[in-house]
């Protein structure tokens, strides 16, 4: 974000507000009381294991059906032409808009992948990886390709003594590696996908949202009610939804959905006050991750939090929680924590009371 600020001469005040937002999240996590969540009973834990397996098989079966129904995508689009694949997938008008495949790739696969790695079930981990690649090739979402590698990297980092230092070094290494690939192989894909799409675009969109809504009318909770819940109870002054509005103003295309992350989302709703409210909400989400993953192997929790980091930085908070896979990841971690805790005979851990300040270590 500082790079965008320096190159484009963006608002210094907003940079300070953004820094204050993230510092507030970290401090709130450190001082926020622990969330007590009652675990499930031993008999229920067994049902959870069976239920997770049945759900995974059912979703995999649904995916196999969709693979057959839209197999023409593979013959039309190459691996690099994911936009054509995505367009074809949307045109298929699948039930629930194909969100079951999205939840498979963003919640079920990462959490179960982390469980397989922690238990050293290498063949199952390989099978989940293949399933993830197949899902990405059908849906046409580039993010799906990197979720499991990022999860694996974060799982390794979280076992180190200074995970935040390792994560910073990892991002710096990714940037350097992408530059080397671009320079020696004349291929911009690694840089465009790994750096521009993952870091530059979310930061630029955040500035665009601030630039627009700092000079135009704010839309308090309009997206939540009018567009997400489809309940038009909030007065909305614009002709299109926020993402397409920003796409038209800054990219010259009303068809482009320029969706911002949690900071831009907070500002477009309530301005600087929104940053305060959203910081509290995000801190509560992180504390929920602490509670739901308490007692689990740290690698499983790390795998579950990967998509949360990607989703929160790339879309509105309500979408992250419900359709982005964050809420489902929380449920899966809670179920696994209950089952694993009682399976190991640890009935004393019926209530999860994480230490203060654990969740901020999982921030991407």
pLDDT, mean over the chain: 79
Q: How far apart are CA 329 and CA 305, in angstroms?
A: 8
Residue with more model confidence, 42 or 79: 42
Cα 258–Cα 329–Cα 56 angle in degrees, nearest 5? 110
Which tens digits make up the pLDDT trace of 140-163?
777 888 889 888 988 888 888 887
Nearest Cα to 30, choosing from 299, 360, 363?
360
Q: How far apart are CA 225 and CA 216, in angstroms?
A: 20
| Residues 69 and 61 sit within 8 Å (Cβ to Cβ) | no
Which tens digits make up the pLDDT trace of 192-220?
666 777 778 888 999 999 999 999 999 99
| pLDDT of 101 | 78
Q: Which two tokens stand for residue 248?
A: 């038209």
| Residues 90 and 140 sit within 8 Å (Cβ to Cβ) | no
Buried/exposed 7-42: b ≥16 CB within 10 Å, e otherwise? eeebeeebbebbeebbebbbebbeebebbebebbee
| pLDDT of 74 | 46
Model confidence at 81, pLDDT cuts 50, 70, 90, reads low
Which tens digits make up the pLDDT trace of 293-350?
888 888 888 888 888 888 888 889 999 898 888 888 888 888 888 776 534 434 434 4
Structure-derived torsion over alpha carbons of residues 120, 121, 122, 124, reported in degrees to the nearest 10: -160
| Residues 18 and 263 sit within 8 Å (Cβ to Cβ) | yes
Residue with more model confidence, 258 or 55: 258
| pLDDT of 260 | 92
Residue 46 above 70 pLDDT? no
Q: What is the DSSP letter of 346?
A: -
Q: How far apart are CA 336 and CA 40, in angstroms?
A: 10
Section 12-36 average pLDDT:
89
Going from the C-alpha of 62 to that of each of 135, 285, 292, 309, the distances in angstroms are 11, 30, 28, 27
Residue 76 above 60 pLDDT? no
The count of other CB atoms within 10 Å of the CB of residue 57 is: 10
């Amino acid at each position: 974000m500082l790079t965008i600020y320096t190159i484009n001469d963006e608002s210094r005040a907003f940079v300070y507000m953004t820094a204050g937002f993230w510092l507030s999240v970290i401090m709130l996590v450190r001082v926020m009381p622990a969330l007590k969540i009652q675990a499930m009973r031993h008999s229920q834990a067994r049902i959870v294991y069976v239920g997770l397996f049945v759900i995974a098989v059912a979703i995999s079966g649904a995916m196999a059906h969709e693979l057959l129904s839209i197999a023409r995508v593979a013959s039309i689009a190459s691996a690099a032409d994911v936009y054509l694949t995505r367009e074809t997938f949307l045109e298929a008008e699948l039930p629930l808009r194909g969100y079951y495949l999205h939840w498979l790739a963003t919640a079920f696969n990462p959490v179960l992948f982390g469980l397989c790695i922690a238990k050293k079930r290498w063949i199952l981990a390989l099978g989940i990886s293949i399933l993830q690649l197949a899902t990405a090739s059908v849906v046409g979402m580039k993010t799906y390709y990197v979720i499991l590698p990022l999860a694996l990297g974060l799982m390794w980092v979280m076992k180190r003594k200074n995970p935040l230092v390792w994560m910073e070094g990892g991002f710096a290494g990714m940037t350097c590696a992408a530059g080397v690939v671009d320079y020696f192989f004349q291929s911009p894909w690694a840089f465009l996908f790994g750096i521009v799409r993952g870091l530059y675009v979310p930061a630029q969109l955040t500035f665009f949202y601030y630039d627009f809504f700092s000079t135009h009318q704010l839309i308090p909770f309009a997206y939540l009610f009018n567009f997400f819940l489809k309940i038009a109870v909030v007065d909305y002054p614009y002709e299109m939804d926020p993402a397409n509005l920003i796409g038209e103003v800054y990219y010259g295309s009303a068809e482009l959905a320029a969706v911002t992350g949690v900071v831009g989302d907070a500002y477009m709703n309530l301005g600087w006050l929104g940053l305060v409210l959203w910081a509290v909400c995000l801190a509560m989400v992180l504390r929920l991750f602490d509670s739901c993953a308490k007692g689990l192997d740290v690698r499983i929790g790390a795998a579950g939090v990967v998509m949360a980091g990607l989703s929160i930085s790339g879309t509105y908070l309500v979408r992250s929680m419900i359709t982005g896979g964050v809420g489902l990841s929380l449920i899966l971690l809670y179920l696994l924590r209950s089952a694993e805790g009682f399976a190991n005979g640890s009935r004393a851990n019926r209530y999860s009371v994480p230490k203060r300040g654990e969740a901020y270590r999982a921030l991407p």
